Structure 1
Amino acid sequence: MLADEMRAVDVLFAQEDVDPKRIGAYGHSLGAKEALYLTAFDNRVCAAVASEGGIGMDSTNWEAPWYLGPIVKSEGFTRRHDDLIALIAPRPFLALGGETGRGCADGVRSWPELLVGQRVAALYEQPLRIGLWNHGEGHHLSADSGKRIVEWLNAYVAEK
């Protein structure tokens, strides 16, 4: 999936009417996982929002064969997604969490990874732009959440 997303950014960059400094990423659920990885590994993405993707390795089904596979649950597996948040820093990154309910993947439990990103961003002496909006509405995406996403992307992509 990541290679496909990076090719999509290549296509955007090839368009004459696209400002290459204003490429953002957004995703919900599976799309949030994709936005997380794309933003970490493609610094052409200037800002991102990941809604309910499950930042923590134990917060969702990262062990599924279509994601990272069962190896992520093995004792010797040491990678965690704080590595990805650190790669994103100091670029703006917002996680949306629903906290509880069926399928809920993010919320207060997402802070350990996000705090690593904030500490890395501080090394750049940039404003704090990595955070969590915990709407507490479960896994679904409400109109209010959609409004917050648009506001974030307008602030860090459209108005860049």
Structure 2
Amino acid sequence: EKGLYIYVRDTKDLISLQQTLDETFKWKECGEELYLLREGDYRGAAQMISCNQEIAKEGAFSFGMLCKFSSTLETHGGIGYKSLYHQCGMIGQMLYLEATSLNLSATGIGCFLDDEFHALLGINDQRYQSLYHFTIGRAIVDTRITTLPPY
């Protein structure tokens, strides 16, 4: 079903997320820590949040990774910020591998409007922040790019 979903990686964060995000969200459990927040077509929002990149709209799905931001910085300082990006990057690498194993493609979204994403989710503080965005779908070959066999 088309909609706005959240996957909660750590179930200890569920209540905190429910208290932080838009209070009108449904939080309908779809299994394995995936929740439907609201039904609807969010392809246009995905494209807009991704600096108007069509790849976010046309993929099977796109998403932003929320991190426990303020508590990480309070506990670990600047190195905690770096660690959050490392975690996002590792998750991204796993997603690239998984997508490839399913004959799909994946890409990190290099440009995204985090304030717009936070507004969509109803985030009004820095407990959670969006640090990395990603999309998965079927590749469309760009004929403007020359691809050579590996050396």
TM-score normalised by L of structure 1: 0.29
Relative contact order higher in (CA < 8 Å, ≥ 6 apart): 2
Work out which of the two has the higher radius of gyration on C-alpha atoms and give 1 or 2.
2
TM-score normalised by L of structure 2: 0.30
> If each structure's strand is expressed as a fraction of its own residues, which one has the higher value?
2
